[in-house]
Amino acid sequence: MTANPVVRTRAGAVRGLVIDGVHVFRGVPYAQPPVGALRQRPPRPAEPWDGVREATSFGPTAPQPDFGMPEELSGFYPTVVGDDYLNLNVFSPDLGRAGLPVMVWVHGGGFDGGSSILYDGRRFARDGVVFVSVNYRLGVEGFLALGDGIANLGLLDQVAALEWVRDNIAAFGGDPDNVTVFGESAGAMCTATLLAMPAARGLFRRVALQSGAGNLVQSLDTARHVAGLLADELGIGPTRQEFAQVPVERLFAAQQRVERRLAERPDPRRWCGEPGARVHLVQPTVDGDVLPSTTLDAVRAGVAADVDVLLGSNAEEGRLSLVPFGALDAIGDDDVETAMRSYGLPVERAWSVYRATHPDAGPGDVLALLQRDWYYRAPAHRLAEAVVRRGRSAYLYDFAWRSPQFGGALGACHFLEVPFVFDLLDMPLFSAITGDAPPQALADAMHTAWVAFATHGDPGWPRYDLSTRPVQRFDSESRVVEDPAPEERRLWEDLDIARGS
């Protein structure tokens, strides 16, 4: 019987488990609990401890609202109650080796939900990667910005976790100079945003962005406006000290009430200058200090020019937010036109483009395609172009495999690529979105590509360029396609020209 492994970190020794030959350490603190005097403050390194700390169970997860998910998807937000939630998990193939590539996962969840628990890293470890998954502050606790010199605490938590990786990962067999940060949805948005953060400089070598390119950010003026709405809802002054005195349950309930009102009556002051900046009450803030600029502007200016990028989106992203909630068939033309206007699109031309490229699509289908293009696909292409223009490698993908779930209506929706990238098709929870017989060959292809990218920077398909625009399309039969959506691309390029961006 294999003894439980013990590894010494800079803060103290941790004891993990061996599962299927993989060394697993759960709930390892990388920063002090952000409560009491440390609530609403930047993270501080974990306090040292004596003896050996047990790291055999998942640690606490960040406080978050109750999202009222449909029953089929209710298991996707597992939580553990506790204050010491600035923690991470490590999956290592071999503690006796050195120089293994490292992959650090930042979970999604709309900036106000999710945790690291869902993401089993054993398949990455099986294939020679030291895998790390991170918890970070969410919602108002992680993204409140008041103009008081403190902002983007959730992003600073991620930087603190990467500093922990730099200082400790060699003890788990990893190479601190070969770190790839990757994430999905809000996790990808955060990961991309790290490219523009001075505090994150030099902490990673590559990023892989799944359905997020750092485009969901807000100005400091917008952040202050949001804080004022929240303070009014809570009956407090808009100061960090007063926010820090509000119980988190009450804080998140107020956040949800204000967010619902904004969704019903969109506020023109909540415009971030980026098509697809949706009505999220909290998201990263371009505060001029922690985050000096948007990711796109930073990359165009040559920031993070030593970082390779893999990025992409799913062919029918928006269906996840419509189909499980029974909303797809309830969408009408007026709803689609409202969405087009919110994205700044010329309605008549947008209709003509989507009707020409998807002649059988109903209004709900078109809305799902709009969400795909303006939240995810257009920003990914813009960022890839910026990376290439600065002389660095970008690899673009499109996930097109259609799920059979919900009578086939779920399609190639948001998040569906995650169990394929992680090679977790046999995890029962994921069958809620993949069905009972997803193609293992597709998981083999995607997982192998992500491991190859993390190992040596090449996932196995051509680099993106501005002439042929190659994109790896992952499907039952995967292949490289050139410039796969020229009409939609010309639409967003024309809008960029019109806006002077």
Instruction: Report if residue 281 sits inside a domain.
Output: no
Does residue 103 contact residue 207 with C-beta atoms inside 8 Å?
Answer: no
Reported confidence tier of residue 259, pLDDT bands at 50, 70, 90: confident
pLDDT(307) > 70 = yes
Residue in 303, 366, 298 with CA at minimum distance from that of residue 335:
366
For residues 176 and 97, what is the distance between their CA atoms, to the nearest angstrom? 13
**Strand ranges for 20-79 from DSSP E:** 22-29, 52-54
Instruction: Report if residue 325 sits inside a domain.
Output: yes
Of 191-195, 317-321, 338-342, 496-500, give the lowest mean pLDDT range. 496-500
Tokens of 206: 């590559």
For residues 411 and 318, what is the distance between their CA atoms, to the nearest angstrom? 10
Instruction: Report if residue 174 sits inside a domain.
Output: yes
Q: Say whether 395 sits in a helix, a strand or coil.
A: strand
- Name the pTM for this structure: 0.96
Tell me which residue has tokens 């990218």: 453
C-alpha 224: how far from chain center: 24
Residue type, 275: P
Question: Rg of the chain's alpha carbons, rounded to an integer?
Answer: 22
Report pLDDT for 276: 45
Report pLDDT for 501: 61
Reported confidence tier of residue 263, pLDDT bands at 50, 70, 90: confident
C-alpha 453: how far from chain center: 18
Instruction: Report if residue 263 sits inside a domain.
Output: no
Tens of pLDDT along 341-391?
Answer: 888 888 999 999 999 999 999 999 999 999 999 889 999 999 999 999 999
Could you tell me where the DSSP H helices lie in 35-121? Answer: none
Does residue 190 contact residue 155 with C-beta atoms inside 8 Å?
Answer: yes
Q: What is the 3-state secondary structure (H, E, C) of 234-247?
A: HCCCCCHHHHCCCC
pLDDT(56) > 90 = yes
For residues 201 and 250, what is the distance between their CA atoms, to the nearest angstrom? 36
Instruction: Report if residue 256 sits inside a domain.
Output: no
Instruction: Report if residue 412 sits inside a domain.
Output: yes
Reported confidence tier of residue 1, pLDDT bands at 50, 70, 90: very low
Instruction: Report if residue 287 sits inside a domain.
Output: no
For residues 366 and 338, what is the distance between their CA atoms, to the nearest angstrom? 12
Residues with catalytic function: 185, 317, 414
Report pLDDT for 267: 63
% pLDDT > 70, the chain: 96
Mean pLDDT of the chain: 93
For residues 443 and 438, what is the distance between their CA atoms, to the nearest angstrom? 9
Q: Which domain holds residue 321?
A: 6-212+293-499
Instruction: Report if residue 164 sits inside a domain.
Output: yes
Residue in 242, 52, 215, 217 with CA at minimum distance from that of residue 148:
242
Does residue 343 contact residue 271 with C-beta atoms inside 8 Å?
Answer: no
Burial of 15 (0-12, 13-18, 19+ CB in 10 A): middle
> Domain count of the chain?
1
Kindly state the average pLDDT of the residues 184-189: 98
Positive or negative, the CA dihedral 448, 449, 452, 453 is negative
Residue in 120, 456, 104 with CA at minimum distance from that of residue 448:
456
Residues 6+ apart with CB under 8 A from 66: none
CATH code where residue 165 lies: 3.40.50.1820
Tens of pLDDT along 427-471?
Answer: 999 999 999 999 999 999 999 999 999 999 999 999 999 999 999
Of 97-106, 271-280, 421-430, 433-442, give the lowest mean pLDDT range. 271-280
What is the CA angle 18-21-27, rounded to 5? 35
Q: 321 vs 139, 265, 275, 325, CA distance in Å?
A: 19, 19, 18, 7
Tokens of 288: 């001029």
